[in-house]
Amino acid sequence: MNRQDIDELTEVFIEESEEIVESLNKDVLSLEQYVDQPETMDRELINNIFRYVHTLKGNSGLAGADKLRDLAHKMESLLDRLRKDKLVITGDMVDLLFEGIDRFNDILKE
């Protein structure tokens, strides 16, 4: 694989990751409404958020983006506990997810 191929693959990885992060941000905004009534949380919404983060983790691993992969892994663990009802959604958790999204964006800009 030559340098141009690698540059094109990196560009595709970044573009796809930015799209995933944008969708993730929208869904976390929607998730925020369940903080006051966690028992009414939309299960499909949390599953979508988990899938976005899981996809970022996998793609990052393939692309060698270790910082992004490691962060996605940590967020995925938190989201998995939420999906399995081991945690209840809180304002602090939503804030933490938004901080993760901000960090994803920072890493992608690097």
pLDDT tens for each residue of 62-79: 999 999 999 999 999 999
Say if residue 21's pLDDT is above 90: yes
Report how far residue 76's alpha carbon sits from residue 83's, in angstroms, rounded to the nearest whole number. 10
pTM attached to this predicted model: 0.92
What was the pLDDT predicted at 1?
67
Q: To the nearest whole number, what is the mean pLDDT of the chain?
A: 94
Say if residue 18's pLDDT is above 70: yes
Say if residue 50's pLDDT is above 90: yes
